[in-house]
C-alpha cells in the first residue's frame, strides 16, 4: 500500500523516503513472485496536494516539521483512511497479508478493517542529509519502524 507522493515519486524529491518505499515494495514483490500493490490517492498524508504545498512553505518559513506545519494549517498530521485498501483486498478475496510498511498506523487501520496481518515487513530507508528531518518526524511522532543508523 502506497499513498501518493508526487514530489518524491514523480519528481524525485530527496526530502522523503516515499520513492524508496515504492521501489523497495515492487522489488520485494517481484523477488517473492507474489503481492498486491495498492496505490492510494492520499497525497500529503491525506491532506491533499494543495495543503501539502502550503505545509511545505510553512516548514521552510517557520522551520517546523510536517506535523507542526499541518497543525498550523488546522489539519490533522495524518488523515489517511485505509478502508478503501481493505475493501480492495476483501474484493480480491484476500483477508490475510504480509504488510510492507514502517507505519504502525497503517497496520492498526487494516487490523480494524478485519485484515489479518501475518507479518509486518519494514522497508528500511537509506538515510541521507535530505530526508533525515522527515525520517526523524516519522520515527518520533508516528512511531515508524525505522533505524536512522544505517549509513
CB 23 within 8 A of CB 124: no
Within the chain, which residues score under 50 in pLDDT? none
For the annotated catalytic residues, the residue numbers are 78, 80
- In this predicted structure, what is the pLDDT of residue 126? 93
Look at residue 85 in the predicted model and tell me its pLDDT.
Answer: 97
Cell of 93: 478475496
DSSP string, 5-49: -IIIIIS--SSSSHHHHHHHHHHHHHHHT-----EE--TTTTT-H
Residue whose C-alpha cell is 496481518: 117
- Percent of residues, the chain, with pLDDT higher than 70: 99
Provide the strand spans (E) within the chain: 2-3, 39-40, 96-100, 116-121
Given this model, what pLDDT does residue 111 score?
98
* pLDDT tens figures, 110-150: 999 999 999 999 999 999 999 999 999 999 999 999 999 86
**pTM higher than 0.85, yes or no?**
yes
d(CA 117, CA 98): 6
Q: What is the pLDDT of residue 151?
A: 52
Ramachandran angles phi, psi of 121, nearest 5°: -110, 105
Phi-psi region of 74 (alpha: psi -120 to 50; beta: other; left: phi over 0): left
| CATH architecture assigned to 2-42+80-142 | 3-Layer(aba) Sandwich (3.40)
Across-strand partners of 98? 119
Amino acid at each position: 500500500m502506497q499513498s501518493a507522493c508526487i514530489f518524491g515519486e514523480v519528481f524525485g524529491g530527496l526530502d522523503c523516503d516515499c520513492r524508496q518505499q515504492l521501489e523497495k515494495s515492487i522489488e520485494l514483490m517481484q523477488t517473492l513472485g507474489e503481492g498486491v500493490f495498492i496505490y492510494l490517492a492520499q497525497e500529503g498524508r491525506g491532506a491533499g496536494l494543495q495543503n501539502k504545498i502550503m505545509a511545505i512553505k510553512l516548514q521552510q518559513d517557520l522551520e517546523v516539521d510536517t506535523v507542526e506545519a499541518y497543525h498550523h494549517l488546522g489539519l490533522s498530521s495524518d488523515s489517511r483512511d485505509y478502508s478503501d485498501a481493505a475493501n480492495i483486498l476483501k474484493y480480491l478475496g484476500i483477508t490475510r497479508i504480509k504488510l510492507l510498511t514502517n507505519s504502525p498506523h497503517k497496520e492498526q487501520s487494516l487490523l480494524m478493517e478485519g485484515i489479518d496481518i501475518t507479518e509486518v515487513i519494514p522497508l528500511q530507508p537509506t538515510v541521507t542529509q535530505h530526508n533525515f528531518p522527515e525520517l526523524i518526524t516519522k520515527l518520533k511522532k508516528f512511531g515508524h519502524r525505522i533505524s536512522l543508523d544505517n549509513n
